[in-house]
Structure 1
Amino acid sequence: MWTKHHKERKIGRFILPAITIAFVSYFGYHCVHGDLGLIATEEFERQRLARTDELAKLSAKREALERQVQLMSDGSLEKDMLDEIARYQLNVSRRDEITIFNSYF
């Protein structure tokens, strides 16, 4: 009969749990702090909202400019629009006029 007497090591019981804890810790850390983790996702969402607001402002500005171009290139050029733009660009007004400047040009 073959018998083998050896002393059972207590450290052997902790190897698999230690490796498991190391893997879980590694992946857990990168799930929160990694390039695509929770913190980065929140930053991406903040940037998306800021850029959505900026896009809305730029779209409104573009629509206003398109309306002005349409009024000027319609074939039937409105004299009021031409007069308004010329006075704004040349900084000219009559003595009996009150000038209010809007910054849409």
Structure 2
Amino acid sequence: MVSRSRLISLLTGLALYAMAAMIVGYFGVNAYIGKYGLNARQELDQEIVALTSELERLKAERAEGEKRVALLRSSGIDPDMLDERVRYQLDYANPRDLIQIIRQK
């Protein structure tokens, strides 16, 4: 009888340690590969870098567009810009002009 109760207490202790190890392992694995884990954080950081560079590119593109629009305002029309827009809209070119065709998507 003494050996059986000792065996049961030993197995109970091992079972508790095994369950505790499994719980700690579960949380450890989720901390690494889970939805909010370390791998997800690295992927989010990479996406932030990519989107930040795209934002900078789009800001520069917008600034260039705003600059071109400002040249066409009635308060101070740039003659070269006006000439360029008129030629573009009327499909007119001087025979001595060099023409570059840009296809828009």
- Please, what TM-score do these two structures have when normalized by structure 1? 0.82
1:17 aligns with 2:17: yes
Identity %, equivalent residues: 30
What is aligned with 1:44? 44
User: Where does structure 1 lack aligned partners over 5 or more consecutive residues?
Assistant: none
Q: Report which of the two has the higher share of helix.
A: 2
What is aligned with 1:7? 5
Aligned equivalents of 2:91, 2:43: Cα separation in 1: 45
Query: How far apart are residue 92 of structure 1 and its match?
Result: 2.2
User: Where does structure 2 lack aligned partners over 5 or more consecutive residues?
Assistant: none
Mapping of residues 66-105 of structure 1, within 5 Å = 66-100=66-100
Q: Secondary structure at the match of 1:8?
A: helix
Of 20-29 and 67-76, deviating more is 67-76
Aligned length: 100
What is aligned with 1:58? 58
What is aligned with 1:27? 27
- Please, what TM-score do these two structures have when normalized by structure 2? 0.82
